[in-house]
Chain A
Amino acid sequence: MGDAIEFQKRLAEAGYIAEPGLASALELLQILGRPLLVEGDAGVGKTEIAKALARVFDTHLIRLQCYEGLDASSAVYEWDYQRQLLVIKIRETEDLPAEQTERHIFSESYLLKRPLLRAITEPDPCVLLIDEIDRADEEFEAYLLEVLSDFQISIPELGTIQASSRPYVVLTSNGTREISDALRRRCLYYYLEYPEFDKELRIVKMHLPNIGNQLARQVVAFVQSLRGFDLRKTPGIAETLDWATAVLQLDVDDLNDDPAAIKRLLVCVLKTREDCATVSDLDVERLIASSG
């Protein structure tokens, strides 16, 4: 422990190419036990960080996808109402005091654990991914802050549940909404940029071992220069990989071999009508030519 280079290698073995800065940040996450907030454009691999981290720590990943209107019953816990009702009905004939029935149906076996509660009641630390926190409401954000600093959750009917292990927490945000200062302060921070040429090339080669050297370089160079256009939806790494996979099916070694087919496959990369219009056929030819 304590070696970012080593950590970087372990991440690479887990299938994630990280720059040294990111490896340092993840190392800090481990040392300090603070959550890591990752920001960056869509498709730069924010979510993948958590997945790779789970593989590196050899633990499992619990994912909480945030959305507008996310509430405690889908993020923290919920009572199993159907079973509760059933038990009340069954017990009706037994003539037991109401308090006893109440105690019974509000016990842990009727509790449905949602991601947050599950993450802190795991026997071993897991990786908790809170995806797109900016989509959740402020109330939820405040609640999350409380959970992340106290690592306990109180359930009125049951009492306070203490964490049995502290999860490694990764939060991601696309900037749909500004998140609160308090939450920012709690977290380590990393801003993930679009990958540099070398990094993206390594990613492509790792995911598509069959791709030829020349073709991989061309695909990456093409997408890299495409990011320079003023697009509505800038292609991310996932788009590069999709496109590379599609190009690989064409059975060519060089983008120049079949420009017309390559153009048709651009649907993998350009995903809105405006973007398709922004990048003209001439642009495509120029980009193919300049990608070497």
Chain B
Amino acid sequence: MIDVPERLTRRVAGFQAFLRGHGFRAGIPEAVDVLTLAQSVDITDKRRLRASLRSLLCSGHSDWTRFDDLFDAYWLRPNRTVLREARGYSSDGSRTAEIDGTRARGLLGDVRQGAGHAGNVSGDNAALGGACSDELLESKDFRLLTRDDELEAVEQLVARLAMRMRRRMIRRQQIAATGRRLHLRRTLRNSLQFGGTPLELSFGRRRRKSPPLVLLLDVSRSMSIYTYMMLHFTRAVVRGFKRAEAFVFHTRLISVTDALMEQNMERMRDRLTLISSGWSGGTRIGESLQSFNDDFAGQLVDRRTVVVIVSDGFDTGEPSLLSGEMQRLRARARRIVWLNPLLGRPGYEPTSAGMSAALPWLDLFAPAHNLKSLLALEAELLKL
């Protein structure tokens, strides 16, 4: 048993509160463990204190990468209250991120800043009000989200939504499916009353997998303010579903499944930036779909696959090409869903050449400009 100065234990408790403020899940069990730890490990040794607390209080890789900076901020410098205040009130994403030391949080830092600027220009109502409830956030257009804490809250909601979608879809299928395999254990149990002869057979339900999903994401300039959120959504879907593939397109089509699976957020950001750099203007939806049909559809799309296209439908290519490729895809996939962020704006009509070429082939045409529309989508997807 080591005698720990009370001041130090109090500082440690303060550190936990500090981490909670930064989105760590450091609850009461952890607090108890820290006290246990203090009695058997010499926590006056700063290196060991750091290593122990890091293992104890982190619960994922993003926590892990932020921990060192936060530890330094708390234990080395005295101005920690200033740091906490600064969070969430600055509309300049990059600066806050730097202060917080949360480099890992942004998916595509530049895109997010782009979204911030666009929001400032298009509507100042985003900057109003200190407290904003989840409910308000749900119906707010993604392009109007400017504040750092709002973005973060929506990010989390989006990720949770994707996870929930997956669970719901699996559960439904479990109930629907009827078994084919003999359930030995139950059969044996039943056989007891017949003296060991298995007269009554029991069957186990066979679990079916969630339907394969393919997401095609438009990342052209006209979509840029939604790209950030949609990438977040895509990432959560790709990581949550067992069989999901994601592609981004602009003037050509590139698979991003591997990049989105990347554990290390920093590296993922680099890879995505690399992928999207050096592209010229214009959106070629038709050609992108063509390359998808030619190169990937054979492997990825079967009769059970749901294909989700996220695009505003502004195509600089030939509408007839787009229409033809949609038809090819239609023949292969189970369902085609088109999400158009513009559909959420009052007065929008899908009259652009590209959009009207694609419309006849869709099973579902839905908005995706705020959380509410994504939530509604969940129910729609289940019906398909």
Contact = CB atoms under 8 A, between A and B. Distances in A.
A275 interface: no
Interface string A48-91: 00000000000000000000110001000001010011001100
Contact of A191 (B25, B42, B64): B64
B51 A24 contact: yes
B191 A88 contact: yes
B240 interface: yes
A79 B192 contact: no
A185 B36 contact: no
Interface stretch (B54-62, B110-118, B325-333, B338-346): B54-62
Contacts of A85: 188, 191, 196
Interface residues of B, number: 43
A2 interface: yes
A196 to B, nearest CB: 16
A188 to B, nearest CB: 5
B58 A4 contact: no
A2 B192 contact: no
A25 B59 contact: no
Contacts of B46: none
A102 interface: yes
B188 A81 contact: yes
Interface string B34-66: 001100111000011011101110111101100
Given A24-B51, A184-B60, A31 B37 contact: yes
B48 A177 contact: no
A32 interface: yes
A175 B37 contact: no
A283 interface: no
Give the interface centre of B59, B193, B271 by most chain A CB atoms within 10 Å: B59
Given A85-B196, A88-B195, A24 B188 contact: no
B33 A81 contact: no
Given A81-B184, A181-B59, 7 more contacts: A4-B41, A31-B37, A184-B60, A188-B56, A189-B64, A191-B64, A232-B258
Interface of A: 1-2, 4, 20-21, 23-25, 27-28, 31-32, 34, 36, 39-41, 68-69, 73, 79, 81, 84-85, 88-89, 92, 98, 101-102, 138, 175, 177-178, 181, 184-185, 187-191, 230, 232
